[in-house]
Amino acid sequence: MRNLLNTVALTFALITPLTSLAAGASAGSPDGARSNQPTATQALGTTWANVPTQTLSAGGVDFAYRELGKRNGGTPVVFLNHLAAVLDNWDPRVVDGIAAKHHVIVFDNRGVGASTGSPADSMEQMADDAITFIKGMGFKQVDLFGFSMGGMISQEIVLKEPQLVRKMIVAGTGPAGGEGISAVAGVSNYDLLRAAFTRQDPKQFLFFTRTPGGIEAGKAFLARLKERSENRDKGIAVGAYVAQLQALGSWGEKTPADLSVIKQPVLVVNGDDDRMVPTSNSRDLARRLPNATLIIYPDAGHGGVFQYHADFVPKALDFLAR
């Protein structure tokens, strides 16, 4: 496993110049304080493409985050990101779509992107950091939207502090000990190499099928990720990426949790051909959660919620409104 992680790190270092996004790190602030607060004028017409990046200091970490739809009130929706992702890896159509009706907060966990600190190497630690951020924002209860690794972190959060979570949306993810999750490093490494040799973004291979429809959906998604042209997030460091792979490896080998204790409504979503976290995990997750709704999109992979954003966003809004 260690040799595989070292190979992945080297490959990631080589591929990063081809696929990394322009960085725009946030400045730190005193403990308990926020910086770069948008003015009322800035808030008008704000979208994911231009919303300011802010900083919250909590638990000794300066968390970089962006906030939309605060005027909507209600339970905030906190987004939890995927492997190797920073703020700019979220699809603008999904963020803006949910922020049209809800208060949305997207953040970089400790040691990721523009957030400070040493990156966590377990889902449990990542969940603890997310809880620190959520409470630091002053939220008593939130909805969670976890994509891929973010869906695993979401499960740990609700198991640790169930009173903190009202509802969850988890996409492209699976339970602890799930089929193929411990092999994510190998799948990612293979597709990083494919991307390097073909000078493409790895997400084209990792998130989408190789059918004509999947390839076109991947190109459209990658184009949307470039809509924010200024003040972009800092790219992920190799050390943070390797720490996340270690967390995924441990999660895949972990004894399955008793998910029957999770009483919150959960929307489980995936594509029908997920190579990163095999789709069977989403079906298993939905069976084991007592109050789950399952959506499987056809001719779609790991990034099914991005490929089918026009269908997913209304369904997510309906789920959150119930």
- pLDDT, tens digit (0-9, with 9 covering 90-100), for 106-160: 999 999 999 999 999 999 999 999 999 999 999 999 999 999 999 999 999 999 9
Task: Inform me whether the pLDDT recorded for 233 exceeds 60.
Answer: yes
Q: What is the mean pLDDT of the segment spanning 213-238? A: 97
Q: How many CA atoms lie within 13 A of 249 on its CB side?
A: 15
Can you read off the two tokens belonging to residue 251?
A: 């999660």
Q: Going by C-beta distance under 8 Å and a sequence separation of 6 or more, which residues neighbour residue 231?
A: 24, 52, 53
- Pairwise pLDDT comparison (227 vs 29), residue with the higher score: 227
Task: Inform me whether the pLDDT recorded for 221 exceeds 70.
Answer: yes
293 and 319 Cβ atoms separated by less than 8 Å: yes
Q: Going by C-beta distance under 8 Å and a sequence separation of 6 or more, which residues neighbour residue 197?
A: none
271 and 302 Cβ atoms separated by less than 8 Å: yes
Task: Inform me whether the pLDDT recorded for 228 exceeds 90.
Answer: yes
Please give the C-alpha separations between residue 49 and each of 13, 68, 138, 153, 248, in angstroms, as whole numbers: 27, 11, 26, 26, 30
**Confidence (pLDDT) at 45:** 82
% of the chain residues with pLDDT over 70: 86
